[in-house]
Amino acid sequence: MTGLLKDAMHDRADDLDAPDLDVAAMLRDGDRLVRRRTAGIVGGAVAAVVALIAGITVPTMLAGDARDPDVASPVVSYDLAYAVGSTIHDGSRTVETDVAISGLVQAPSGYVVVDRRGRVHTFVDGESREVGRLADADRGRLVSDDDVVAWVDAADGGTVSVLDLATGDRADVPVSDLPGEPVSPDAGSIDSVGADIAAVDGRTVYLADARGVLAWDVLDDEDPGLLPAPDSVDVQVLAVEDGEILQVARTFEPQEVDGATTMTQVEELRVGPDLVDTLGVPGTGGVLSPDGQRAVLSTRVSPPDGFSYYETVVGDVDGSSWTSVAPEGYDSVFGYQWLDADTFAMAAGVSTDTSAREDLLTCEAETATCTVVVRGGGAERPIVATGRVSG
């Protein structure tokens, strides 16, 4: 088995809940960490006060602004890529890195990987270079949009590092140098109330920390802008593509239980051009197509008397129609990456009482039909190109 359904046979043998797809688990764990860091900031009123005191610019639009379709960057088409051991498999191509890979992103100009010690390496034109080290080697991540790659580096107790693989341009901004009060004595640590790269859209980096969500072109040395958020809502940015933001909005609502009123957290997945003008969409997480026009969304289903699994739908972000993606023969499916504006990659698992297998598929958004690209069953776990670190 591939390990994407982590220790499935052992979990079932011990009569425990079915394990997650490893891809889904990585994304969900990262989302929990970001949520923990941003829980202290709710609502546009708080954001405005923080901005006023700290000198952070509050933009009337996104720092990157929604791009005009006529001048938007062309969409790059990728093959499904993954790494096994030290080898990157990218369609029919293989790249030997001599690095034990635990995290991977692909770009038009090459690849960026994380090794088991959290060191960040680039592989461009046959040459490798060590360019940094994740602040958290176990649960950190790389975030990219084509050739622009960002991560929270361990330098200076936490540094926003951004690299353009095509031009070689690089910028490093210590989290402690950002406007506002320091958010943690160890600002780069995933485990503390620190910083996390929420998304990269073009050259705009979205950083989540206790201030809220900051957005700015780090490479051009712009000033960070704090995105206005709705009152009394905790907003977590999951992805940004071509100015469209996929986000989770969390509110506390009163609920009557045994004659007593308690406050219950309610979560809703939303999409929109900012954090205020949004539309609710189905699911608990997902990814946007590179042109920002479509989304593949997944929902974790946890029946009280059964095993947890994921369901996936695909559709246009206007919410007019969502199509189930349910290739025959799989118990759980999770879309994790768009390969171009029409095709996405999905991890699909099937398990029994004695065995489990995880396959990697490519799926067409228009028809919701899928093709198996990598069939599970190997001794080593494939590392897919989400940028998330996996052990």
Per-residue pLDDT, 24:
59
**Cβ(373)–Cβ(385) below 8 Å:** no
Please report the pLDDT score of residue 360 as a whole number: 97
> How confident is residue 74, by pLDDT bands cut at 50, 70 and 90?
confident
How does DSSP assign 137-167, residue by residue? TTT-B-EEETTEEEEEESGGGSEEEEEETTT
Provide the H-helix boundaries in the chain: 8-13, 22-38, 43-54
Split at pLDDT 50, 70, 90, the class of 133 is: very high
In a domain? residue 1 = no
What does the angle CA 380 – CA 313 – CA 33 come to, to the nearest 5 degrees?
60
Least confident of 63-72, 95-104, 222-231: 63-72
Across residues 251-269, what is the average pLDDT?
A: 86
Q: Please report whether residue 390 resides in a domain.
A: no
Calculated CA dihedral for residues 247, 365, 389, 216, nearest 10 degrees: -40
Q: What pLDDT is stored for residue 40 in this prediction?
A: 38
Count: domains in the chain: 1
Answer whether residue 195 shows pLDDT above 90.
Answer: no
| Residue 2 maps to a domain | no
Average pLDDT over residues 148-174: 96
170 CB-contact burial (10 Å; exposed 0-12 / middle 13-18 / buried 19+): middle
pTM over 0.85: no
Q: Is residue 123 part of a domain?
A: yes
Instruction: Quote the domain boundaries for residue 197.
Output: 8-384
Asked if pLDDT for residue 369 goes beyond 50, the answer is yes
How far does Cα 363 stand from its chain's mean position?
Answer: 19
Any residues with CB less than 8 A from the CB of 145 and at least 6 apart, and which? Answer: 200, 201, 202, 241, 290
**Looking at residue 381, what is its pLDDT?**
83
Q: Which residues, in sequence order, are CB contacts of 16 under 8 Å at separation 6+?
A: none
Interval 21-72: pLDDT, tens: 455 555 555 455 445 444 433 333 333 333 332 334 444 334 344 444 444 5
* 3 in a structural domain: no
User: For position 230, which CATH number holds?
Assistant: 2.130.10
